[in-house]
Structure 1
Amino acid sequence: MALSGKVAIITGSSSGIGAGIALAFAKEGAKLSLTGRNQKNLEEVVKDCKEAGCQDVLTNVGDITQDAFRRTLIDTTKKKFGKIDILVNNAGIGGMKPLTSATKEEYDKFMAVNLEAPLFLTQLAAPHLIETKGNVVNNSSCGTTMIIPMLGLYTMSKAALDTFTRYLAHELVSHGVRVNAINPGYVPTQLGSEVMTDELHQSLVNATPIGRAGTPEEIGHLVVFLASDKAAFVTGECFRADGGFSMTTPALA
């Protein structure tokens, strides 16, 4: 198995893409440290991972934007498993808002979750990753290279995450630590459910050349590859998994 014996922290793993990544990791033999804000959902993900064969699962419920919780996540993972091999910065928030009417509070929230939390959690994890010659995978968005109406705040924060990925890869490469990002296309999750309509869903599917939305576990397969030794020569890259969405210029309302 590609990740046999590896210890992986996956943030935002109580639903959506994070849950898909957790399940994909479980099937590949990883030991999991999962975190999210919803205890019930996280318990369901743990159940699925154990049914997939992973019996070594640690959970922490809390807010990844809080420094104390980030430290708890790192400390409890190291205490339980003795090492940290992989950090998946998956937790994120979305939402649709014109930049011309965005508030300071909304801006701060996007940046706190989508950029600051990965930055400062990675700082805490870095010494442990250097010890294991591990790696980091950040969950970004295919929208960082496109204009998608109403997603300015979201894609700004994710574009910064792409830049963070490349700079961090450069800083850590001499320590044997790899850093990459994934840039998913349209994957229906709870993250966007508040603004999703049937019309918008169909518009997104129509704008995806492969003809359908992606699934969380499909994204998980890409993360497994990047986190595994099969990607040992890959660092500082941002990989699209979007069904061809970024090849189009969708006119989305």
Structure 2
Amino acid sequence: MITTKRIAVVTGAARGIGLATTQLFLEQGYEVLMVDRDAPELEKVAAKLENAYAWVYDISEPDNIAHLAQEVENQYGRVDALVNNAGVADFRPLEETTYEIWRRVMATNLDGIFLTTQSLLPLLKAAKGAIVNIASISGLRASTLRVAYGTSKAAVIHLTQQQAAELGEHGIRANCVAPGPVDTKLALAVHTPEIRAAYHDAIPLNRYGSEREIAEMIVFLCSEKSGYVTGQVIAVDGGFQSTGVGLPALRNLSVKA
């Protein structure tokens, strides 16, 4: 079956950035295949959205991805936008990061993006579609307790550039969004007031980003407005990646001046 409708596949779509991206795609007239392994939450949110459909798959499982790709081909015959957003976080010291933990993080954050993109390539070629991979500011600058998470996201950045270099001749663009601190439920749960204050101090815009702000960049990179943009890594982080030490003190000095 071939459709002329624009089809977006968004992984990790049950909540957070994935859900915000789904909602924005719908506003732009796409049909959205919402992929997530959390069946109850995915089905609950998808039921509230028109032209969005719950596809319960675990992208860390190769068999799941193969079945997903086959079903998309059978039902739609094309993918105009693939947003590889699904990911897992793990924050602990290097010496406490077991190989099992390392592999769990890599299986979703890196392997899942590689396999999902590879499996959907024929459908992306059919539509000359766009790929947006979601990394993190942790893939651009190191921090404590992120040996597995940060390394996986750094690898996603390079994988994106490899995809752009190889797939451009097929009309496929691949870009990467690296969010900084974002006001998600997860961040609210794990970031203490002290941590939030420290982030605010270190971010030039002096605040966390919103899920919608990240989604705006993702959907832009999938649109014709970014038709000559590929292989890029865009930090949507309020300027966090651009700054070094001393920002709070310098900000105070500028206020006094």
Q: Is the 8 A contact 1:185 1:214 kept in 2?
A: yes
1:161 is matched with which residue: 153, 156, 160?
Answer: 156
- Match of 1:213, as an amino acid? Y
Q: How does 1:96-245 map to 2 (within 5 A)?
A: 96-192=91-187, 195-245=190-240
Q: SS in structure 2 opposite 1:97?
A: coil
- Match of 1:83, as an amino acid? R
Q: Is the 8 A contact 2:134 2:177 kept in 1?
A: yes
- Match of 2:26, as an amino acid? A
* Cα distance between partner residues in 1 of 2:186 and 2:9: 20
* Cα distance between partner residues in 2 of 1:80 and 1:206: 49
Deviation at 1:15, TM superposition (A): 0.8
Map of 2:249 onto structure 1: none
Pick closer, same or farther for the CA change 1:170–1:66 going to 2, 3 Å. Answer: same
Q: How does 1:37-56 map to 2 (within 5 A)?
A: 37-48=37-48, 50=49, 55-56=50-51
Q: SS in structure 1 opposite 2:71?
A: helix
Which has the higher mean CA deviation after the structures are superposed, 31-40 or 16-25?
31-40
Q: Is the 8 A contact 1:96 1:195 kept in 2?
A: no
5+ residue gaps, structure 2: 247-257
* Cα distance between partner residues in 1 of 2:21 and 2:239: 21
The Cα RMSD (Å) is 1.9
Q: Is the 8 A contact 2:57 2:68 kept in 1?
A: no
- Match of 1:97, as an amino acid? R
Q: SS in structure 1 opposite 2:190?
A: coil
Pick closer, same or farther for the CA change 1:45–1:202 going to 2, 3 Å. Answer: farther
Give the alignment's TM-score, normalised by structure 1: 0.89
Q: SS in structure 2 opposite 1:33?
A: strand
- Match of 1:109, as an amino acid? R
5+ residue gaps, structure 1: none
* Cα distance between partner residues in 2 of 1:9 and 1:207: 34
Deviation at 1:192, TM superposition (A): 4.5
Deviation at 1:39, TM superposition (A): 2.5
Which has the higher mean CA deviation after the structures are superposed, 67-76 or 124-133?
67-76
Pick closer, same or farther for the CA change 1:64–1:190 going to 2, 3 Å. Answer: farther
* Cα distance between partner residues in 2 of 1:199 and 1:88: 33
Query: Deviations 1:20-53 (Å, cap 9, x if unpaired)?
Result: 11111111111100011223322343245x3xxx
Relative contact order, higher structure (CA 8 A, sep 6+): 1
Q: Identical aligned pairs, as a percentage?
A: 33
- Match of 1:237, as an amino acid? Q
Map of 1:29 onto structure 2: 29
- Match of 1:29, as an amino acid? G
Deviation at 1:129, TM superposition (A): 0.7
- Match of 1:182, as an amino acid? V
Structure 1 or 2, whichever has the larger Rg, is: 2
Give the alignment's TM-score, normalised by structure 2: 0.88
Query: Deviations 1:47-93 (Å, cap 9, x if unpaired)?
Result: 45x3xxxx322211232111121122222223333321111100001
Q: Is the 8 A contact 1:94 1:191 kept in 2?
A: no
Query: Deviations 1:82-128 (Å, cap 9, x if unpaired)?
Result: 32111110000112112233110111011111100000111101111
Aligned pair count reads 243
